[in-house]
Amino acid sequence: MELLSGAEMVVRALRDEGVKFIYGYPGGALLHIYDAIFTQDDVEHILVRHEQAATHMADAYARATGKAGVALVTSGPGATNAVTGIATAYMDSIPMVVLTGQVMSHLIGEDAFQETDMIGVSRPIVKHSFSVQRPEDIPEIIKKAFHIAESGRPGPVVVDIPKDMTTPTERYEYEYPKSVKMRSYNPISKGHSGQIKKAVDMLLAAKRPVIYAGGGVIMGDASQELIALAKELGCPVTNTLMGLGGFPGTDPQFIGMLGMHGSYEANMAMHHSDMILAVGARFDDRVTNGTDKFCPTAKIVHIDIDPASISKTIKADVPIVGPAQAVLKEMLEQLQAAKSTPSAESLKTWWEQIEEWRGRHGGRYNTNDSELMKPQQVIEMLSKVTNGDAYVCSDVGQHQMFAAQYYKFNKPNRWINSGGLGTMGFGLPAAMGVKLNFPDEEVVCVTGEGSIQMNIQELSTISQYGIPVKVICLNNQSLGMVRQWQDMNYESRHSQSYMKSLPDFVKLVESYGHVGIKVERYEDLEGAMREAFAMKDRMVFMDIAVDPFEHVYPMQVPRGSMRDMWLSKTERT
């Protein structure tokens, strides 16, 4: 058997796991590992400019592929800089393996230079963590880390590696385990057939059913099964922010996103439904609004791989624990084998009602109240120019909601955003992580002038590796979502929500060797955007001036029911 040092084992194990890229930043505790990286070509290391970006790159790769991304950061500040990225992945159940350097074992607990208790710091935001105590355990720990990160309800796993576990002169027999078994961790592989039967009976009897599908459909690779089931039932489908793309955005059965900034028709349909089939969604507070007023007439079937997500905020009438793909497949089989079908007549009445709602509001916005472009127009143009096929990596704020509402996602895994944690600064490194792995696909970062400045240093990484992402910056010179809340709840006292001293983004990106395009008039938008996307091998930053007074609508009225919404600055349901 081959003899390898701990450092070499780390890199070899990653190779044997099939990892192509790792994203990281070196430091004292990692020097042995970085030396082992230097002497091989199987795993390519991408040097970021800040560790947070490394975690977002790994995270976005995972969102696009379903496989765990890998970040490598040093002890102390390297590890703490990764914390936001780990929490981002945790909140959205994204598989990720974060290798953190640690000071030598004998120094742990002595407040050594660049020491942080990373196992302790990361504990509430990881699915699990490992601290390497013996170098010979490294292959098994790494195998377990990937297994835990990717199976069941996915999540980030931290592996903390003290420097003396990687000493180059100490060598051990290396063999990468083909599989691992853990008595305390056995993720479920199928749903309970009896429970699925109950759900099928309810679906057949329902008069006003809605499918409410979330990120579990994306991460559980269940989009095809969801589409097949929805087609069989003929019922409306709404997606959560995390679930967009899980059902085609241009399909007539799709009624838009639901929740705080969900479509009028989706929120109305939920509120008036008599049966909700929730798939891989967790009844988050941004979806349910006031839980005591939530969908008063609906029976709820809740499919989730994590039993703790079921009946956490909203009680399920029929809980089904299992992976979305397997459960939906069995549900469809049972449905097709059933003797009856859903009542065509009630379904017709239900759709007439939904179409009436859709026709009444249906995502319109006013383009006449400002000289400036509307952010919605920019997203609609982006959707048109990229045919709804691009990987859209978003930052956080108004632009994120506009992208979610107006970009028509037809495929899963292409809408990449920080939904749960709401991490500003996520978009650019996320786009980089996707583009590196999908060089032939269009990858866009939709951002604002606030978010982009939270990880703007990565323009340098983009130069180093030639990562031609396109940045669509909706520049409203203010922290738009904060400003919107201040308009609505604080009599427009814009406390700290404006951006003074913005850089000239065009000149800024040019200084890194990229292309900058400034757009101020809607007439110029399509041409400029087509020009940007025609530059296949260049990173292009589009600085687009948009109306700073625009709000995101609909917006649910706090603590109301799902149907209580502001539809514009003056209209309420």
Catalytic (active-site) positions: 51, 113-114, 163, 481
Closer by beta carbon to other proteins, 122 or else 166 = 122
Interacting residue with other proteins among 80, 167, 185, 524 (CB under 8 A): 185
Min. distance of Cβ 283 from other proteins in angstroms? Answer: 13
| 22 neighbors 394 (Cβ within 8 angstroms) | no
17's enclosing H/E stretch is none
Strands 69-73 vs 391-394: parallel, antiparallel or unpaired: unpaired
Interacting residue with other proteins among 120, 362, 527, 558 (CB under 8 A): 120
Interacting residue with other proteins among 116, 131, 400, 561 (CB under 8 A): 131
For the chain, the C-alpha Rg in angstroms (whole number) is 24
Beta-bridge partner residues of 519: 544
Q: If DSSP codes are grouped into helix, strand and coil, which group holds residue 124?
A: helix
**Cα–Cα distance, 144 to 182 (Å, whole number):** 9
Interacting residue with other proteins among 178, 181, 183, 536 (CB under 8 A): 183
Residue in 248, 253, 226 with CA at minimum distance from that of residue 350: 253
Closer by beta carbon to other proteins, 148 or else 165 = 148
* Binding piece for other proteins, criterion CB under 8 A, among 180-188, 391-399, 481-489, 491-499: 180-188
- Does residue 477 bind other proteins (CB under 8 A)? no
- Does residue 470 bind other proteins (CB under 8 A)? no
* Binding piece for other proteins, criterion CB under 8 A, among 120-128, 265-273, 355-363, 482-490: 120-128
Min. distance of Cβ 290 from other proteins in angstroms? Answer: 17
Residue in 223, 258, 220 with CA at minimum distance from that of residue 241: 258
CA-to-CA dists, residue 236 to 8, 408, 503, 540, angstroms: 53, 16, 45, 38
Interacting residue with other proteins among 3, 40, 285, 308 (CB under 8 A): 308
Interacting residue with other proteins among 15, 20, 128, 192 (CB under 8 A): 128
Tokens of 96: 């990720």
* Binding piece for other proteins, criterion CB under 8 A, among 18-26, 128-136, 204-212, 526-534: 128-136
Q: If DSSP codes are grouped into helix, strand and coil, which group holds residue 397?
A: coil
Min. distance of Cβ 193 from other proteins in angstroms? Answer: 22
Which residues does 4 contact at the CB level (< 8 Å), separation at least 6? 12, 171, 172, 174
**Which residue is listed with tokens 């180093």?**
464
**Residues contacting other proteins: total by CB under 8 A:** 20
* Binding piece for other proteins, criterion CB under 8 A, among 119-127, 162-170, 205-213, 347-355: 119-127
Closer by beta carbon to other proteins, 56 or else 147 = 147
**Cα–Cα distance, 143 to 16 (Å, whole number):** 9
Min. distance of Cβ 259 from other proteins in angstroms? Answer: 22
- Does residue 306 bind other proteins (CB under 8 A)? yes
Min. distance of Cβ 182 from other proteins in angstroms? Answer: 7
Sign of CA dihedral 388, 404, 256, 222: positive
Closer by beta carbon to other proteins, 305 or else 428 = 305
| 172 neighbors 3 (Cβ within 8 angstroms) | yes
Q: What angle do CA 257, 262, 265 make, to 5 degrees?
A: 85
Min. distance of Cβ 408 from other proteins in angstroms? Answer: 36
Interacting residue with other proteins among 148, 227, 229, 509 (CB under 8 A): 148
Q: Among residue numbers 311 through 370, which ones bind other proteins (CB under 8 A)? A: 311-312
**Cα–Cα distance, 314 to 246 (Å, whole number):** 23
* Binding piece for other proteins, criterion CB under 8 A, among 194-202, 308-316, 369-377, 539-547: 308-316
Residue in 69, 72, 118 with CA at minimum distance from that of residue 95: 69
Question: Which residues here bind other proteins, judged by CB under 8 A?
Answer: 119-120, 123-124, 127-129, 131, 133, 148, 153, 182-185, 306-308, 311-312
